Structure 1
């Protein structure tokens, strides 16, 4: 079969859906050496280093147009130029990023990661929200098979878009093999030095944007009695609508103890997770919540929210709190910091819980979905 994959997010985004797509397709390339794959990317693709190691049945197909132009043409102007103009004839087209282009493929498969623009619309940039409210329902209607990141997202698709349950499968994410507990002092010392980590710290990993609930996390951190002895380290690139987040440390009197270290390369994350006293991820809504899984795989104790997909990912290996309850978040963090036995228990449970997820399982399920 000839299968085209929209590899745009992998080629254009370092984090988020870009990371998801790179990891999933890397695992697929290790699993399937038979079908012929065209990885469709726009002219302005940037991150293609991973594809150099792909087998010969995976090839890059670069369109002569930019990502922005393609979105405008296909999703806004709705010009029906089929993707086969760039890829050639197809049996299957798979998009891992919410929307579908015009295609004559026999089977169209779509991943919808979350419906945050419907569930927590106040956290979305208005223009993007309007775009997704128009483009995603159309793609859901056209898709022969929809892959949801979690049972929670699957339920959202059925409730909010009236998508037929029979056309939706849950396809969980995995974590890359380099996410494991780091015990070598050389690597731990390297990361300590790189990020100037001289005190014990609470860690958050994720894009700086309102849905991550960082202003409340900073407020809860300010209520910890030992806040002068511990830091809150926030790792993630700037996203959108972040002014309130960056103003929060001063507002709550913890400017000296809250550090924004910016986008963190994947290679540094396992040591950061391993060094942290705990990982706090009190998101308002997640389609999956990959940092929770990666933190558990590295043996970190985790506090996360009891909403959306997060209980599915965390299982019994994290303390779950109501995301908007600052007191509950502060209490949960304090409980882990004070109780070494609980911390050790959560770390062990997290390692076990993480083993339930793998990119290899995800790739095998995706491969099975390609059958006509």
Structure 2
């Protein structure tokens, strides 16, 4: 079988969310599948960490980049000499027209739940392009049972059309851990024990709830709150809230964290906090668990699927519950802390990028 892949989401330097998913799926499909051949379609030359060309793994690079899935990609698919058996887009958008069966991936449908949080032009494109992609797809791959239920709810898709491929997470090698944690803390001016949020600054992450819970909790008086990640949208209110609560000296915003520094920043935290309103999955929860850091997360959406019995849960819509969960995590004695760390390490064994790619490959083969 010859499989085509739109790997543009994977072909970017600072990968988060769908880019992280696409990159790891592409990398692991190349690693595990020696039977099928792949043609990988890109607007720009592949970055150095994407798989190298070989027999059975070839790149096609072409433009124009603007409206690529709508114009350039369909033209290429209809005019190329190779006949592929299916075309996979590890994102919400398939080519507008395709002579071959298509498969797409959908992470979540937050834009259907809260359209007011999106730019009108972006939202219009997202929903219109997503709609035709869902309707034309032979199969839809998503990342949790929760997201599967959302796709069924909003698009009326039959359950058998949707496959769930749980994402994996990066396993970190912490060489010289203590020294590196110390260096990272010094770099960001962290001089006390801290709670850590790591992710994009955007409304669905409930960062305002984290800040309010931190301010209200009893066991945080001698702690810092680190809110790390790139600015998304509607982030201004986050900074305004810190000023309003007069806790500027207790909250640090280090911005985007490099992949080299990320594991050490997580490993140095007393608690990792991730009480999102909505997640298609929640890879940061697994990353923190793998680094032996207790996790406070949300009882909503997909997060109980991710955290299992290894997380401390709270209602993200209740500041009191968030504060209580922070206090509970910080108040664990050594035995209880070791117990929850052990549960976290066990939970992470359920997820890997290789298993994710295997599920996707089985989906391809069953079309």
Q: Settle same-fold status: TM greater than 0.5.
A: yes
Matched, 1:223 2:224: no
Deviation readout 1:110-140 (Å, 9 max, x if unpaired): 1111011112334333332222222212111
Matched, 1:4 2:7: no
Aligned to 1:327: 320
Deviation readout 1:229-266 (Å, 9 max, x if unpaired): 21111111111121111222111221111111111112
TM-score (norm 1): 0.91
Aligned partner (choices 155, 161, 165) of residue 167 of structure 1: 161
| In 2, Cα distance between equivalents of 1:165 and 1:187 | 47
Aligned partner (choices 239, 254, 260) of residue 232 of structure 2: 239
Gaps of 5+ in 2: none
Matched, 1:20 2:18: no
Residue 228 of structure 1 contacts residue 257 of structure 1 at CA under 8 Å; is this kept in 2? no
Residue 273 of structure 1 contacts residue 299 of structure 1 at CA under 8 Å; is this kept in 2? no
Aligned to 2:148: 154
Cα RMSD between the aligned structures? 2.3
Shift in CA distance, 88/345, structure 1 to aligned 2, threshold 3 Å: same
Shift in CA distance, 94/247, structure 1 to aligned 2, threshold 3 Å: same
TM-superposed CA distance for 1:72, in Å, is: 6.3
What SS does the aligned partner of 1:69 have? coil
Aligned to 1:29: 30
| In 2, Cα distance between equivalents of 1:269 and 1:314 | 20
TM-superposed CA distance for 1:48, in Å, is: 1.3
Residue 92 of structure 1 contacts residue 105 of structure 1 at CA under 8 Å; is this kept in 2? no
| In 2, Cα distance between equivalents of 1:213 and 1:198 | 25
| In 2, Cα distance between equivalents of 1:190 and 1:87 | 54
| In 2, Cα distance between equivalents of 1:119 and 1:69 | 26
Shift in CA distance, 55/330, structure 1 to aligned 2, threshold 3 Å: farther
Shift in CA distance, 85/264, structure 1 to aligned 2, threshold 3 Å: farther
| In 2, Cα distance between equivalents of 1:234 and 1:120 | 23
TM-superposed CA distance for 1:52, in Å, is: 5.0
| In 1, Cα distance between equivalents of 2:70 and 2:6 | 16
Q: Within 5 Å, which residues of 2 pair with 1:1-372?
A: 1-12=1-12, 14-43=15-44, 48-53=47-52, 55-66=54-65, 68-70=66-68, 73=71, 81=75, 83-85=77-79, 88-178=82-172, 184-340=177-333, 341-371=335-365, 372=367
Residue 6 of structure 2 contacts residue 42 of structure 2 at CA under 8 Å; is this kept in 1? yes
What SS does the aligned partner of 2:10 have? helix
| In 2, Cα distance between equivalents of 1:85 and 1:237 | 40
TM-superposed CA distance for 1:362, in Å, is: 0.8
| In 1, Cα distance between equivalents of 2:181 and 2:239 | 28
Deviation readout 1:19-45 (Å, 9 max, x if unpaired): 1111121111111234222221214x6
Deviation readout 1:169-209 (Å, 9 max, x if unpaired): 1110001232x677732332332233332211101111111
| In 2, Cα distance between equivalents of 1:99 and 1:90 | 18
Residue 336 of structure 1 contacts residue 342 of structure 1 at CA under 8 Å; is this kept in 2? no
What SS does the aligned partner of 1:279 have? strand
What SS does the aligned partner of 1:147 have? strand
Deviation readout 1:286-343 (Å, 9 max, x if unpaired): 1111111211122111111111111100101111111111110011001111123433
Structure ranking higher in helix proportion: 1
Gaps of 5+ in 1: none
Shift in CA distance, 253/56, structure 1 to aligned 2, threshold 3 Å: farther
Residue 38 of structure 1 contacts residue 87 of structure 1 at CA under 8 Å; is this kept in 2? no
Deviation readout 1:132-183 (Å, 9 max, x if unpaired): 22221211111101111100010111111101111111110001232x6777
